[in-house]
Structure 1
């Protein structure tokens, strides 16, 4: 963890506003750059929130790379293509959310920035260079975007913009600033993202009749949960209830297409991107009368339309527009293939609709196994796209609903980073973040957060995911050689096992684990108490990994004992059973088996093809993508995409069943790649259709080359 120092910049914020919810602050400075310095221009910036950087009115960057509690990574963004000799304007818009989330931690707001031309600092925060204000167009009191992410976006524009963000001269009001306490600034490890632009095309339109009375108004989860454990504005305090507003239209599809770019009053138009993409929507709008313009969005269409409830997020941005022309861009990044513009109050021209993508820089991958197979080529392209959108500053589960750095997911994505880049920089950054806190608020001593950097004020955690971190550390060491980071985790690993020790029963198996015992989204999740054998299979694997990492024979022996007890209790002669329940002091065995339980057994070497040949060949030949059609073994509950199908494919790959792996990959993933150009969280499109772990398909394909 290398510290990064600013030369002159100090951390600042709007006076008295550092601990207020959702302050959208804007900072600007005017500077001169000499001709010989233009090619050496850099903006350094760090913040506890999210920033958008502009130079001379042009968008340059979104950030920062996230870090653990009380640590902040410094971006050093090249601004050479955007500056000119002479006078330039640099502007930062920073969202100080100051709410708990899975995306950003709740910390006092600040920004620290300086611009270098050549070796010279030409402007910096903390002096007189930067002036600041609250964004006068952003509506502050809005609902959260989701339970996992901070606030949605809504705007009120009164006409032409005032030039604060781009004009060399500005004489309007400013807000006083204050220098805040020094921050621990550290280096950014992840590569800087690309900002590619992809155009959207209109695909359908229809009426949006106002005054509609639906049978039920859908409400986002967070809006019903505001309180001490989930910070934000209660619904009654929000200036607009945008979620209800868009449900008060009756949407009636029209045949054909709109002629031109004019969107009539009380009509909508749906645009489509070439694939499911992540970034900031950018478009132009013009209206002759005061109006509301809504932009709804989603990854797939629901019955031919864009609908809010599918993802459970506030997938809508509202603009209240006075007459005028506007160039509008979302501040935050979201994920979508479809966007739906709704005009209410006036006709409106909407044109040049595009997405400014925010994702990992392009990667090169040559896989001879794909030659001539169009389906596999499409799946591989979707896997690359899923990786690029979920591996920017750290590994995320999805770039939409959460943008959170989840354990277990990271085990799989870490393999892909090494394959695609030859390095493990993002994985190192992801793992290093967990070291920034000695212990974690609201979690038991020794437990690790299920996703991080994040807040867990409700005390929730997944004990299984902490064990996956230990398993990942062993593979991370093998691919990176980073012994220093692995050794830095030793104390946390041993404290974690001390935590689990208190849940071991007289057989040495974990029993009655706390909180969210999670295996995957399937029937297996209903069979987690009292003694859950897949959890204990993972426990054995984590003990064995730690024993090898830290040369600890005691941990290796414990791993062996757990394995022996699982074999003794879980194996019924045909399948591994999922759990045992304690009744009157004794364990009783319901004898229910799930598909994913079998995969846990083989993945963590509780079983092998040699030790359990009949079961292995049953799984190989009679399970897989077609089992829902063949109805084989209906008593064994189906696995879901993550992690059951992934464990299955990894096991087949491990033991050299390459033909079956290719067949399974086509069966599991082609329909996803065909529909969205990305790979999904589940085996259906009822949740995220863009998940980072899904890029692991590339790892298996590469092993066959």
Structure 2
């Protein structure tokens, strides 16, 4: 049995520590050391609970650990040799610890004890009592009671209130005197002669390190003194200092032009005791007309209308009251912020404040996008594509995130779509594999997975989200064909399906779930009236039929759909008998739905529902599960999607499944313009990322809404896996929706395909690898071709 590096170093922490009264606190660690000759390579492994930023000689070298869970607690591996000097050196870490006694940041796990660990084999800097440490009392992480309720629940707990007078300036440098700091102590749960381990099972980070890219604000959106606008513009564009006189109040709003995720950076001079409020916001909006602040009451229209207000998260920085007029200081919040606009409200005291620099560093998962389009049918089509990419980019960090501004939680339903969009753009499945593994690790005793994970506490479960994890695994099979991955997860898939099977009622339909879950279906207006929630959010986004009887048609249909996908997973790895069982169960469910819920030209939301209780969701998933098919399916879906009233309507995220159902019934060509209308409406409102839903106007950036990526790749260009691992490419181009096509498209695990067409020219398909292609929807439909790398298949189209 090999020896792990963590056995040769210690987890350490501050001896002066109490986290019962703080949602989160920072601890600073330092170690000075001497290097006689800088080595060619100096590898360190580093981690902390909960977050760290590592510095060598004042230079940032690592940020982590990547989010995960205690059973696979990430550490980073970094070569620090480029940052070392001959002679004296210092390695330092700033660690943010979230208390296990408070909800704190809901996307970050934490152990029952804090810790920081670093190991280096060729220089004596591994963590031990030789490190010095100090609790940083200059920063207060704002708690839930300081949160603006208009933003909804407080999920992140990252907002800071900094007292510059208490800051340890220069502590990252070699010359800093740390003689008054404490010696670090060992932080461990281990007890001699007892088989007890520390909370963290260390696992090397599986995703790449993220670049932090310098960026500038594009303009000044608003300034309280209009004549000052030019000066602020020169500051953000050219670092020309702005001076704010003593005893002055100043407000300015900076525009990043598009919503982004980034670390804000400030460089300041003088201004003793000045206070700066930094408000980050996704958009401009109108004041709510509701007397009770809540996310449903947000009044959003033109997101770029600078006459509106900014509702957002606030950070505060108070400059050292003893700051000399010529002294300079830098400030940046520890965690990234999400913003399109940043409002600064500045109050100076008795001395002038000079702002020397004001910018940010963007941070996103470094996705290598291979799918590139060089021609668009219209400016709005180009906008739709770019906004979709920007939405997905801002929801990809160390996990897939539902939204970067409010929650940064990885939800199974959201992530299923985000991962699929990733496959359609890139060959990189590392974040997807991490996501699937994390949900696998979250399994509960009832067979379900957690609805969102990683998370420090058990969450209210949405049972059907576990079914979307099955779809996630199926997608990976189709795009990458990894049999070992499918084998690993098939047991958990069977547990999920068994949970639903145990819920079947006497009619063969999925019945009521456990009392403490949220039977969420979708954020649709008809199901999302806060007044009907009766103080419990679990009553929202749920068909009324479920509230009455515990039966919602959708639950049976999505279960049947997942059973069919699970059957395909079984077939892929040779478990045919289990696949046959799953198909039979799906058929039984579909038959029960048709018998109990089909009312002529539509399905109702529950077996006891009046005709008025019907939704697009049930019609869509009846098509996808095969409960209805042929002309009947086509007519039922067409009616549900084209009638202006009478159906609860699908949200942006559910729009993906609407597109799929339209394709399956042959309605796609007829309905595509109408299906894209929600995204056209968002463009008209000047969004730069796609919103969460029309019914819930909280988030302006939600990854599940980047559906146009799938539409362009799978429906217009017509590329999808025809067999597991993309061994066969299904090619069904639709040139009527894109007059001139010229683009390269990622084919997972293989390479890229160039697709082009234009009026009077054939459709051309050119892979950069040997490809097997099944052509559908054009002349020679259903024909299969074997195309050598670099060769072009030319298809004439009538």
- Band of TM-score, shorter chain: 0.7 to 0.9
Q: Aligned partners of 2:493 and 2:3: how far apart in 1?
A: 25
Trace 1:244-259 onto structure 2 (pairs within 5 A): 257=229, 259=231
Of the candidates 503, 521, 524, which is equivalent to residue 523 of structure 2? Answer: 521
Q: Aligned partners of 1:86 and 1:658: how far apart in 2?
A: 69
Residue 169 of structure 2: aligned partner: 162
Residue 285 of structure 2: aligned partner: 302
Trace 1:61-460 onto structure 2 (pairs within 5 A): 61-79=62-80, 82-98=83-99, 99-100=102-103, 101-114=105-118, 116=120, 120-126=122-128, 128=130, 130-139=131-140, 142-143=143-144, 147-158=154-165, 161-181=168-188, 182=198, 183-205=200-222, 257=229, 259=231, 261-263=242-244, 265-303=248-286, 315-322=313-320, 323=323, 324-346=327-349, 348-368=353-373, 370-436=375-441, 439=444, 445-457=446-458, 460=460
Residue 37 of structure 1: aligned partner: 39
Which shifted more, 322-331 or 102-111?
Answer: 102-111
Render the CA deviation track for 1:318-355: whole Å, top value 9, x for unaligned.
11222353211110122101111111243533342222
Q: Aligned partners of 1:202 and 1:601: how far apart in 2?
A: 49
Q: Contact conserved, 1:68 with 1:435, CA < 8 A, in 2?
A: no
Q: Give the structure, 1 or 2, with the largest relative contact order (CA under 8 Å, sep 6 or more).
A: 1
Q: Match of 2:60, SS?
A: strand
Residue 679 of structure 2: aligned partner: 669
Aligned CA distance change for structure 1 residues 666 and 370 (closer, same or farther; 3 Å): farther
Aligned CA distance change for structure 1 residues 70 and 664 (closer, same or farther; 3 Å): same
Structure 1 residue 454, shift from structure 2 partner: 0.9
Q: Aligned partners of 1:255 and 1:662: how far apart in 2?
A: 48
Trace 1:684-695 onto structure 2 (pairs within 5 A): 686-695=697-706
Trace 1:549-698 onto structure 2 (pairs within 5 A): 549-550=569-570, 551=575, 552=578, 553-581=580-608, 589-618=610-639, 623=642, 632-643=643-654, 645-653=655-663, 663=673, 667-670=677-680, 672=682, 675-683=686-694, 686-698=697-709
Q: Match of 2:210, SS?
A: coil
Residue 505 of structure 1: aligned partner: 505
TM-score (normalised: structure 1):
0.81
Aligned CA distance change for structure 1 residues 663 and 344 (closer, same or farther; 3 Å): same
Q: Contact conserved, 1:390 with 1:399, CA < 8 A, in 2?
A: yes
Q: Aligned partners of 1:658 and 1:91: how far apart in 2?
A: 58
Q: Aligned partners of 2:230 and 2:294: how far apart in 1?
A: 27
Structure 2 runs not aligned, ≥5 long:
148-152, 189-197, 233-241, 299-310, 528-540, 718-798
Q: Aligned partners of 2:397 and 2:43: how far apart in 1?
A: 20
Q: Aligned partners of 1:422 and 1:521: how far apart in 2?
A: 32
TM-score (normalised: structure 2):
0.72
Q: Aligned partners of 1:79 and 1:540: how far apart in 2?
A: 53
Render the CA deviation track for 1:469-524: whole Å, top value 9, x for unaligned.
12222222232333333333333333333333332111221122232111111125
Q: Aligned partners of 1:591 and 1:658: how far apart in 2?
A: 26
Residue 235 of structure 1: aligned partner: none
Render the CA deviation track for 1:528-580: whole Å, top value 9, x for unaligned.
50321112111111222233333313222111100111122222222221123
Q: Match of 1:54, SS?
A: strand
Aligned CA distance change for structure 1 residues 163 and 502 (closer, same or farther; 3 Å): same
Q: Contact conserved, 2:74 with 2:204, CA < 8 A, in 1?
A: yes
Aligned CA distance change for structure 1 residues 43 and 389 (closer, same or farther; 3 Å): farther
Q: Match of 1:449, SS?
A: coil
Aligned CA distance change for structure 1 residues 404 and 372 (closer, same or farther; 3 Å): same
Q: Aligned partners of 2:586 and 2:467: how far apart in 1?
A: 13
Structure 1 runs not aligned, ≥5 long:
208-252, 582-587, 624-631
Q: Contact conserved, 1:52 with 1:61, CA < 8 A, in 2?
A: yes
Structure 1 residue 599, shift from structure 2 partner: 2.2
Q: Aligned partners of 1:393 and 1:70: how far apart in 2?
A: 16
Q: Which has the larger radius of gyration?
A: 2
Trace 1:485-504 onto structure 2 (pairs within 5 A): 485-504=485-504
RMSD: 3.2
- Is it true that 1:54 corresponds to 2:59 in the alignment? no
Structure 1 residue 124, shift from structure 2 partner: 1.5
Q: Aligned partners of 2:348 and 2:330: how far apart in 1?
A: 19
Structure 1 residue 435, shift from structure 2 partner: 3.5
Q: Match of 2:159, SS?
A: coil
Q: Contact conserved, 2:47 with 2:116, CA < 8 A, in 1?
A: yes
Residue 211 of structure 1: aligned partner: none
Structure 1 residue 649, shift from structure 2 partner: 2.3
Aligned CA distance change for structure 1 residues 563 and 33 (closer, same or farther; 3 Å): farther
Structure 1 residue 271, shift from structure 2 partner: 0.8
Aligned CA distance change for structure 1 residues 665 and 438 (closer, same or farther; 3 Å): closer
Residue 700 of structure 1: aligned partner: 711
Q: Match of 2:594, SS?
A: helix
Aligned CA distance change for structure 1 residues 527 and 421 (closer, same or farther; 3 Å): same
Q: Aligned partners of 1:471 and 1:155: how far apart in 2?
A: 45
Q: Aligned partners of 1:56 and 1:373: how far apart in 2?
A: 51
Render the CA deviation track for 1:602-635: whole Å, top value 9, x for unaligned.
233333454422223445xx63xxxxxxxx4312
Q: Match of 1:543, SS?
A: helix
Q: Aligned partners of 2:475 and 2:158: how far apart in 1?
A: 37
Q: Match of 1:465, SS?
A: helix
Aligned CA distance change for structure 1 residues 437 and 415 (closer, same or farther; 3 Å): closer
Of the candidates 543, 560, 563, which is equivalent to residue 540 of structure 1? Answer: 560
Structure 1 residue 165, shift from structure 2 partner: 1.9
Structure 1 residue 262, shift from structure 2 partner: 3.0
Aligned CA distance change for structure 1 residues 447 and 400 (closer, same or farther; 3 Å): same
Q: Contact conserved, 1:155 with 1:318, CA < 8 A, in 2?
A: yes
Aligned CA distance change for structure 1 residues 480 and 27 (closer, same or farther; 3 Å): farther
Structure 1 residue 49, shift from structure 2 partner: 0.8
